[in-house]
Amino acid sequence: MSDMACIYEMNMIDENEQMENDILSGIGMDVMLCLMDGISTGREIAGRIGVPNYSVQLYLQRFVKAGLVREDKEIIQNGQIEKQYALISDEIEIMNRIRGTEIERRRKVELSGQHFAYLTKKAIKNVNTDSSKPHKIKSYFMKAKKSDMEKFKQEIDVLFEKYQALEDLDEDETYSLFTILAPYGKGENENEDIKI
């Protein structure tokens, strides 16, 4: 009498559908951010995140299977095969237009959101180390009319174009401007001035 249905395939990872669709669960996003940062080996990623090598491999294999990451094998000394990983596409960053099936859209939105958060965190930390340079970090949550927000959005677009027009490629310093004008939900105000 058998214990279970025969496993015919030789894949190292064969999960249920829910897990396949939720590839950014657990430390998946941390692994993805390491890859975006250019870190390419499982050992380095495990060291950066502080988790066992084997668990990083789970997420890397999920990404490879999902077609997000490429796996390159390189034989190193003593007969050990080192694997290096790289993102398939540079487009796994902030995307203005998100297309695809519902599952793909959810995945991309999650990736975009996390990447955005990563970038803003980096900018805030830079302010902390160099507060003499121009900076402004502020947030405000409020209830407002949709029509007023639409007008305000147009003003933000104009302001953003004005900012981009100030670009000077001969300068050394890079500045960042992030804008998030978005519905936040129907809860209470969460006003908080972020002071550095």
Site for another protein in 7-36 (CB under 8 A): 7-8, 10, 12-16, 19, 25-28
Query: Taking a C-beta distance cutoff of 8 angstroms, is the pair 24, 104 a contact?
Result: no
Secondary structure class of 186 (helix, strand, coil): coil
Distance from the Cα of residue 81 to its chain's centroid: 29
- Asked if residue 115 binds another protein (CB under 8 A), the reply is no
* Residue 119 and residue 176 in contact, taking contact as beta carbons nearer than 8 Å: yes
Residue of 30, 48, 66, 82 that binds another protein (CB under 8 A): 82
In whole angstroms, the minimum distance from the beta carbon of 86 to another protein comes to 17
Of 38, 67, 81, 96, the one binding another protein by CB under 8 A = 81
Question: Which one, of 70, 69, 59, lies nearest residue 20 by Cα?
Answer: 59
Indicate the residue among 15 and 106 with the shorter CB distance to another protein.
15
Q: Tell me if 40 contacts another protein by CB under 8 A.
A: no
The Cα–Cα gap between 120 and 126 comes to: 10
User: If we measure between CA atoms, which residue out of 132, 122, 109 comes closest to residue 182?
Assistant: 109
Give the nearest distance from C-beta 43 to another protein in angstroms: 6
Q: What is the binding site for another protein (CB under 8 A)?
A: 2-8, 10, 12-16, 19, 25-28, 42-43, 46, 50-55, 57-58, 61, 75-76, 79-83
